[in-house]
Amino acid sequence: MKRFCTRVGVVAAVCAGLAAAPGVAPAASPWMPFRASDFDLPAGTRCAFPLSGRVVADDERIRTLATFADGSPQRQRVKGPLVVRYINEDSGASVVRDLTGDALIDFGADGSETITLRDGHLAVGLGAGDPGGPAFLVLSGHGFAVTFAPDGRRTVAPGRGDVEDICQTLA
């Protein structure tokens, strides 16, 4: 997270003064840490081979932009750096992908969820029953939308940019 008090000169002097002033507390940030997890997928679920993902770096943040009447999130924004190593567990081949991006997550009252890529990168695994699946896609650009239906089915709406199937890359 960038801090306001990182510039040299007058700003540093002002920040030092604020830090020393009694009763002055920094405002709470609406951003919270958001961490990705490592994963291991059996052969046939996304790729013909077992696929693993290992988080190399993660400093993502999330904030809630809107809530339902019960207080649960209706819309959230996620952004920040994320780097993942994908591994073909049969061959040992691997690639590292920078998934740094900025996305909106919209939760439907029916239990659906849609992630819309504002800018950057987003990864999504598709099962055999999903349109375009099985596959493990890295979407790069903006405007891509991934919808998770209440029944678990995933669909990807086109955006502007590139699509890489990690399964093909590591085959």
- For position 79, what pLDDT does the model report? 97
Instruction: Say if CB 101 and CB 75 are below 8 A apart.
Output: no
Distance CA 137, CA 117 (A): 13
Look at residue 168 and give its three-state secondary structure.
Answer: helix
- For position 26, what pLDDT does the model report? 64
- Residue 51 buriedness (CB in 10 A; 0-12 / 13-18 / 19+): buried
Taking only the tens place, the pLDDT of each residue in 112-156 is 999 999 999 999 999 999 999 999 999 999 999 999 999 999 999
- Residue 52 buriedness (CB in 10 A; 0-12 / 13-18 / 19+): middle
Instruction: Enumerate residue ranges in the chain where pLDDT < 70.
Output: 1-27
- For position 166, what pLDDT does the model report? 98
Q: Check: pTM over 0.85? Answer yes or no.
A: no
How many other C-beta atoms lie within 10 A of the C-beta of residue 146?
Answer: 22
